[in-house]
Amino acid sequence: MILAAATNESLAEFSNVLIYSSMAVYTLAFLAHIAEWVFGSRSKVGRTAAALTTTAAAADAEVTVQSGGTAVLGGPKVVTRSTGGRRDVPDGPGAAGGTVQGDLYGRIAISLTTLAFLVEAAGVVTRALSVQRAPWGNMYEFSTTFSTVAVGAYLGFLVAKKNVRWIGLPLVTTVLLDLGIAVTWLYTESDQLVPALHSYWLWIHVSTAIFCGAVFYLGAVATLMYLFRDSYENKLANGGDPGSFARSVLERLPAAASLDKFAYRINAAIFPLWTFTIIAGAIWAGDAWGRYWNWDAKEVWSFITWVAYAAYLHARATAGWKGRKAAYIALIAFACFLFNYYGVNIFVNSLHSYAGV
């Protein structure tokens, strides 16, 4: 017993070392992502802006030219989509800006992010070995697993050849913030679970909750970027001059329509799994407490989050609510998820208090 306890303590300490090591590598990845955006060429990113400005100026002008008795219509038009009136513009060249130097820093950033992901994942697994259970018994363990899954999902999109490298900088920034909060304020010594958590439903319910939250986060980032890019495109179409910094950053992003589609597909795909998460939690509550629904704060806010995402999906199918209005609902829905995790666990007394700090 003494030897086993010493081994578990050593594993817990090694897990902490791995988490701190991953933070160091994530910091290097953060700097590489910054370099990717800074040193990527700004010469190519203005092509879409120039095209938008030109087409916006010529959108209402149809010049009729007589050539050999045949009427020829000149002057390009801005093609608009039916969804939210978004213009059909090409995607930007990406965070690297389409240059060799920018792409080099981008590949370095991805390599460092992958290394940090592997180190952090090893820290999560080591934590699980030290307590001989799923590493999701408190907020510290949930936070480290959450960031690991978020980065894993991002790398999975890259492996699938999706145009998501622009997510790298905000993702790594958020992961560093998440881990910083985890090791500073949320850290809890490894310990065994309370009796209510000794169930196979821990693996089912909590793992799906973590996965849903991590992917919802990627959808929230895409939604936020959509709002910035959509405002930028509208300003260009109306003849405005956004400035060199806005051109350099926003012209490298995918088009607003592409960002909106990406966010919608993520949220729509994960919503059924979030529904299953709530159902699984209710079944677990029935086994642990004898009631499937107790109107506990965690249960209520999980349901509020479900309603918010359902409202977003409904808004996407409703005339007049597509585009920016639906995007605002999506951000509100993710804010509900964050409050359900941080706000309820820290500030509200509930049956789920054992998951607190």
DSSP three-state, residue 87: strand
* C-alpha closest to that of 182 among 22, 327, 1, 310: 22
Average pLDDT value for residue range 315-344 = 91
Residue 219 has pLDDT above 60, yes or no: yes
* SS3 (DSSP) at 153: helix
Cβ count near 146 (within 10 Å): 24
> In angstroms, rounded to a whole number, what is the distance separating the alpha carbons of residues 331 and 337?
10
**DSSP character at residue 166:** G
Q: What is the DSSP string of 45-81?
A: THHHHHHHHHHHHHTT--EEEEETTEEEEES----B-
Nearest-angstrom CA–CA distance, 123 and 79: 50
Q: Tell me the mean pLDDT in the region 86-91.
A: 73
Q: Identify which of 110, 97, 82, 87 has the alpha carbon closest to the alpha carbon of residue 172.
A: 110
Give the chain's mean pLDDT.
Answer: 84
Per-position b or e across 78-94, b if 16+ CB within 10 A of its CB? beebeebebbebebbbb
In this predicted structure, the answer to whether residue 351 has a pLDDT above a threshold of 90 is: no
Range scoring the smallest mean pLDDT among 25-34, 192-201, 256-265: 192-201
Q: Rounded to the nearest 5°, which phi and psi values hold at 71?
A: -80, 130
Q: Residue 70: pLDDT above 70?
A: no
Percent of the chain's residues with pLDDT above 70: 82
294: nearest Cα among 306, 285, 305:
285
Contact 9, 130 (CB under 8 A): yes
70-74 vs 63-67, strand pairing mode: antiparallel
The pLDDT score that the predictor gives to residue 1 is 54
Pairwise CA distance, residues 327 & 196, whole Å: 38
Residue 309: per-residue pLDDT? 97
Query: What's the mean pLDDT in 150-179?
Result: 95
C-alpha 110: how far from its chain's center? 16
**pLDDT band for position 131 (50/70/90)?**
confident
The predicted model gives 218-234 an average pLDDT of: 95
How close are the terminal C-alpha atoms of the chain, in Å?
28
- Tell me the C-alpha distance between 230 and 322, whole Å: 13
**171 three-class SS:** helix
Q: What pLDDT score does 60 carry?
A: 42
296 residue type, one letter = D
Give ∠ CA 264-268-273 in degrees, rounded to 5: 145
- 203-217 per-position pLDDT tens digit: 999 999 999 999 999
